[in-house]
Amino acid sequence: MAAVPVPRSPRLAVWITAAALALSAACNATREPAGTVAPTPSQPAHEPRSDVSVLAVGDLNLGRSLGRQIIAGRKNYTFLKVRDEIASADVAFANLESQISDQKGVTEGSSNYVFTAPPVAADEIANAGFDIVSTANNHAWDFGERAMRETIENMHRVGVATTGTGETLDEAYRPAVLERKGWRIGFLAVTGVFNSPFETSPAHEHVAWADPVLASLKIKELRAAGVDLVIVSYHGGVEYQPEPTDETRSFAHACIDAGADAFVGHHPHVTQGVEWYGGKPIFFSLGNFVFKQFDPWTDRGLAVRMTFRDGDGVGVEYLPVAVDYQPRFLSADDGAPLLARLAELSGGALKPRADS
């Protein structure tokens, strides 16, 4: 929704050959909230790990009228048609656009741009198969500090990790690290937009801002700690615009240069193009997933399934989505217009591989 920038298918699969990923093991428990990152011994090079898949989707808003429906007892409805696809991924990620807090039945403020989901929405997200959500966005403070805390608590209660907000700035910038199939996967989430002047908001001490220097430092710390894959979630750009801003593009490049393996953008509520930079995918905006809006293209989102393979980089499947209170993945025919638009926004074609 409206934000104030703050100064400072067939399914298409592509395999990109990149430098061999570092091999390491970890002691993180599955589906646990993020903890401290510590170096771990490397695996022998002759023991390649199984492929690991990461599914990323766009914005989730379980507040407003959908939140009232959930309170009224409509359970296991929202993700009914997409649950199998989400659960099949080794790690499933989304941007949680709405806070999740107990406001005694209230799911939106006096403004249409302020909203929260009820606590049971966290159970819906977990039951759908999501493993981690970003909480760094322009709605992270809609109902204030208590709601920010409750959002984190509710997600951790159901075993879904979070990154992007916290009791302190250190906690907000702390990446979430998940282990799957011998891979350690780190997620860092930041926002570059806010719904009020960020520097003077109390949220300034609790929400991770998209500072390219600090983000690069966090990425390098993850690498130094032996994390195998680093995925950056970025909330920024201009709503409803098909092209990323120069600021977004520059920030994405800085993250990849620092060692990130993928960059996942959101906030515009429409799908933007894809860039392969340094052999790594940049998804400038995945658009919506569960977010009822009426502007052009807000009803079509994109999910991406990234499959990482030892010594052979990353492959990507582009999965078009019909956005609604109950989203669904589109067939090849129904998804063709979105994929054609996405190809045009990506330089004329969805390249089968990064430029050599």
**pLDDT tens profile 197-237:** 999 999 999 999 999 999 999 999 999 999 999 999 999 99
Supply the pLDDT for residue 112: 87
Supply the pLDDT for residue 134: 98
Supply the pLDDT for residue 47: 81
What digits encode the pLDDT tens for the residues 114-146?
999 999 999 999 999 999 999 999 999 999 999
Supply the pLDDT for residue 247: 98
Supply the pLDDT for residue 338: 97
- The answer to whether 248 and 234 are in contact (CB under 8 A) is yes
C-alpha distance from residue 25 to each of 19, 174, 231 (Å): 19, 20, 18
Length of the chain in residues, anyone? 356
**The two structure tokens encoding residue 322:** 């019909």
- The answer to whether 66 and 78 are in contact (CB under 8 A) is yes
**Domains delineated in the chain:** 4-24+49-344 (3.60.21.10)
Nearest C-alpha neighbor of 215 from the set 275, 256, 166: 256
The dihedral formed by the CA atoms of 164, 168, 171 and 173, expressed in degrees to the nearest 10: 50
pTM greater than 0.95 (yes/no) = no
The tens place of each residue's pLDDT in the chain, 356 residues long, gives 444 444 333 333 333 333 333 333 333 444 444 444 555 555 555 588 999 999 999 999 999 999 999 999 999 999 999 999 999 999 999 999 999 999 999 999 998 899 999 999 999 999 999 999 999 999 999 999 999 999 999 999 999 999 999 999 999 999 999 999 999 999 999 999 999 999 999 999 999 999 999 999 999 999 999 999 999 999 999 999 999 999 999 999 999 999 999 999 999 999 999 999 999 999 999 999 999 999 999 999 999 999 999 988 899 999 999 999 999 999 989 999 999 999 999 998 876 555 76
Supply the pLDDT for residue 216: 98
Supply the pLDDT for residue 349: 81
Nearest C-alpha neighbor of 75 from the set 87, 84, 65, 67: 67
